[in-house]
Amino acid sequence: MKKFKKIFGRTLLIILVLIGGAIAYVKFALPNVGAAPNLTIDKTPQRVERGRYLANHVTVCMDCHSTRDWSRFSGPMQAGSKGKGGELFDQKFGFPGSFYSSNITPAGIAGYTDGELFRVITTGVNKKGKALFPVMPYHNYGRMDEEDIYSIIAYIRTLAPIQNTVPESKADFPMSILINTIPSKAALTKIPSPADKVAYGGYLVNAAACMDCHTQFDKGKLVAGSEFGGGREFPFPDGSIVRSSNITPHEKGIGLWSEDQFVNTFHSKTDSLTQSVVIKPGGFNSIMPWTMYAKMKEEDLRAIYAYLKTMKPIDKSWERFTVKKQ
């Protein structure tokens, strides 16, 4: 019995040492994505304009890094808030912590070099070497063309500076440790030719992170096997809940939609009537920034449609909107 206790004690000690070593490695040796590149991005008019298009209508950086007006359809940006950050994404959205979008105006990023901005956008590691939780889909951006990332950086450097001190993001335990394992080195690609409609559409779907919102979400992670099938829940400030749509080519998704219907669904949201609709408490609203995607180029929307039609059909429909019960 004495011998057994001795062996057990040694075994337990070894296990504790291994666990402690693993935690120490994750906490202090990670994230390891390499140094920020030495970059100086030339802010040509063409590059800034490409960045403006991407940041406002494809990657929609301005959506999360501005203040949205939820009294209006799809929460358009409040005037004077573009890029100022401070939007909270926390446990009520299913995230393991409280995460705030950064101030990405020149007032917020003045201390960042172009290379440091490139690293944080494409790997999720900030200037201080700290890992970010992927509320911002940096894994997606790390699969984009580096020229597009350069363009986004060039554009945000031109935003009107807004002084806005953003609270520090904090992950709940154990994510506060595990978060260091999430960033990864960028796997940059080149933009496919628009002539290859499906490949080009796939590039845009990745850049727009369509899958992130149109996939079920549980315990801080996307649910495998439900990609593009919708059902992710998003709460509104009034307690109502909207669920993302199935955008797979099933008849319960976009399977019965024509290409023109798909494009017109977006472009119809550009009219002033849509943008001026005031939502009463408990009234239907959408988390999707329709008024931003509405100005996406027609060829880009048609390519996205072509790509989505190649996805696995998912036989699932959702109750789109639930009003908070009194």
Pick from 260, 322, 303, 254: nearest CA to 58: 303
Asked if residue 12 is part of any domain, the answer here is: no
Residue 172 sits in the same domain as residue 229: no
Angle between helix 146-156 and 114-123 (nearest 10)? 120
Distance of CA 53 to the CA centre of its chain: 17
Residue 212 sits in the same domain as residue 148: no
Q: Domain boundary at 123, 158, 190, which?
A: 190
Which tens digits make up the pLDDT trace of 24-51? 545 445 577 889 999 999 999 999 999 9
Asked if residue 167 is part of any domain, the answer here is: yes
Asked if residue 18 is part of any domain, the answer here is: no
Residue 63 pLDDT = 94
Residue 110 sits in the same domain as residue 224: no
Q: Can you read off the two tokens belonging to residue 120?
A: 């944080």
Split into its structural domains, the chain has a count of 2
Residue 212 sits in the same domain as residue 174: no
User: CB burial class (10 A; 0-12, 13-18, 19+) of residue 232?
Assistant: buried
Residue 104 sits in the same domain as residue 219: no
- Ranges of beta strands (E only) in 48-166 are 88-89, 97-100
SS3 62: helix
Residue 164 pLDDT = 96
- The Cα–Cα gap between 282 and 271 comes to 24
Asked if residue 5 is part of any domain, the answer here is: no
Which tens digits make up the pLDDT trace of 99-151? 999 999 999 999 999 999 999 999 999 999 999 999 999 999 999 999 999 99
- The Cα–Cα gap between 48 and 120 comes to 19
Asked if residue 292 is part of any domain, the answer here is: yes
Residue 71 sits in the same domain as residue 104: yes
Q: What is the DSSP letter of 223?
A: -
What are 100's strand-pairing partners? Answer: 88
Q: Can you read off the two tokens belonging to residue 9?
A: 């004690």
The parent domain of residue 324 ranges over 191-326
Q: Domain boundary at 190, 222, 257, which?
A: 190
Asked if residue 6 is part of any domain, the answer here is: no
- The Cα–Cα gap between 41 and 24 comes to 37
Asked if residue 179 is part of any domain, the answer here is: yes
Asked if residue 28 is part of any domain, the answer here is: no
- Ranges of beta strands (E only) in 61-162 are 88-89, 97-100
Residue 221 pLDDT = 83
Residue 153 sits in the same domain as residue 196: no
Residue 26 pLDDT = 52
Q: Which residues of the chain have pLDDT under 50?
A: 18, 25, 27-28
Residue 210 sits in the same domain as residue 314: yes
User: CB burial class (10 A; 0-12, 13-18, 19+) of residue 15?
Assistant: exposed
Residue 254 sits in the same domain as residue 275: yes
- The Cα–Cα gap between 119 and 226 comes to 30
Residue 83 sits in the same domain as residue 216: no
Pick from 157, 43, 167, 64: nearest CA to 111: 157
Residue 25 pLDDT = 46
* Max CA pair span of the chain: 82
Residue 302 sits in the same domain as residue 317: yes
Percentage helix, strand, coil, to 5, in the chain?
40, 10, 50
Residue 87 sits in the same domain as residue 140: yes
Q: Domain boundary at 157, 190, 223, which?
A: 190
What are 180's strand-pairing partners? Answer: none
Q: What is the DSSP letter of 13?
A: H
